[in-house]
Structure 1
């Protein structure tokens, strides 16, 4: 009786794990999407703010060098 219950439970657990494993195939993990979106945002912000940041840096260096 106990052996039959254990076998039944084991079979159900294996089926559950197989279902979960099958559901995850082909799906892009969330951390990959977050990493790609963050990299994209950095590129866009750098493209927009790069010249202004370069000018600000050059201005700061010229002020320090002027003393």
Structure 2
């Protein structure tokens, strides 16, 4: 029984060759795409308000 357990343990703990990560999208790609999507969504919803805010900010700097 001891020999069987030893062999089973060695089989389970045997180092496996490094597997290549094929077809997996890296996290930074997902974060970049999601951030771009959020920017587009916010831009579509608040385009006029963003223009107004930018114009007011530029006017306040140039009129000093």
Q: What root-mean-square deviation, in Å, do the aligned CA atoms of Structure 1 and Structure 2 show?
A: 2.4
5+ residue gaps, structure 1: 1-11
Distance 2:30 2:54 in 1: 33
Higher relative contact order (CA 8 A, sep 6+): 2
CA distance in 2, matches of 1:42, 1:53: 12
Larger relative helix fraction: 1
TM-score normalised by structure 2 residue count: 0.54
Matches within 5 A, 1:19-34: 21-22=19-20, 24-34=21-31
Task: Count residues in correspondence.
Answer: 49
User: TM-score, structure 1 length as denominator?
Assistant: 0.52
Gaps of 5+ in 2: 1-13
